[in-house]
């Protein structure tokens, strides 16, 4: 005698009910969480599909179009944080320190690299900005002059509180102190005067000297 068959109903998936009283940010997160498992794309990506993130490569290298314009000395480029505060900051600077946003209107060569949502060139949480190359060079020279001026602001005594000996020797910490090919390096031994805390050097040297070759 045949066994009676059972009626098997197909399982029905009941969609989750959307929580009430969500803030806009919470709603955006909820929508993304709800659709997180639909594509299951992680199951179809192989190791060969991945980009090469070798440590020998700079992940923040500027795009090819930007590198070409830089090599031609038309523009200089850099990445900045993609936030309205940082945008306002670089836009508020006076030339030659000011940077402009890279868009299809400001730099037409970037058209293929534009983010369709934001209208700029993006990389992770960064965005690309630019300035004329001559202006970038002028900014660099100004910064170098400022650095040189700081180097020449004082001697070792002023910079590091190292006392000078009684012979009138000057101890320098700036670019004037570079050792050339014809200079001699002579070691002077010194003793600390416990009463003054100063380093006192004797006359002459201890016989240790060497020529610096170019």
**Per-residue pLDDT tens over the stretch 143-176:** 998 887 766 655 555 555 555 555 555 555 555 5
Question: What are 68-118's pLDDT values in tens digits?
Answer: 999 999 999 999 999 999 999 999 999 999 999 999 999 999 999 999 889
Higher pLDDT, 45 or 104: 104
- The domain limits of the chain are 64-142, 156-209
> Is the confidence at residue 62, as pLDDT, over 80?
yes
pLDDT category at 207 given cuts 50, 70, 90 is: very low
- Cis upstream peptide for 96 (omega within 30°): yes
Q: What is the pTM of this model?
A: 0.50
What pLDDT, on the 0 to 100 scale, is given for residue 191? 64
Higher pLDDT, 163 or 10: 163
Per-position b or e across 53-75, b if 16+ CB within 10 A of its CB = eeeeeeeeebbebbeebbeeeeb
φ/ψ of 23, rounded to 5, equals: -75, 165
- Count other Cβ atoms within 10 Å, centred on residue 77: 22
| Secondary structure of residue 171 in the 3-state scheme | coil
């Amino acid at each position: 005698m045949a066994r009676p068959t059972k009626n098997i109903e197909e399982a029905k998936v009941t969609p989750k009910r959307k929580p009430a009283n969500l803030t806009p940010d919470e709603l955006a997160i909820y929508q993304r969480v709800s659709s997180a498992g639909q594509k299951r794309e992680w199951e179809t990506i192989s190791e060969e599909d991945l980009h090469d993130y070798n440590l020998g490569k700079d992940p923040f290298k500027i795009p090819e179009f930007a590198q070409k314009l830089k090599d031609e000395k038309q523009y200089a480029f850099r990445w900045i944080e993609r936030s309205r505060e940082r945008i306002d900051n670089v836009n508020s600077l006076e030339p030659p320190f000011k940077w402009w946003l890279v868009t299809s209107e400001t730099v037409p060569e970037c058209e293929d690299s534009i983010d369709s949502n934001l209208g700029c060139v993006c990389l992770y949480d960064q965005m690309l900005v630019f300035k004329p190359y001559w202006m970038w060079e002028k900014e660099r020279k100004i910064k170098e002059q400022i650095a040189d001026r700081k180097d020449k602001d004082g001697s070792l005594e002023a910079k590091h509180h190292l006392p000078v000996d009684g012979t009138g020797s000057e101890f320098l910490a700036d670019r004037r102190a570079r050792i050339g090919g014809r200079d001699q390096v002579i070691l002077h031994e010194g003793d600390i005067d416990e009463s003054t805390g100063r380093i006192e050097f004797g006359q002459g040297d201890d016989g240790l000297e060497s020529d610096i070759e170019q």
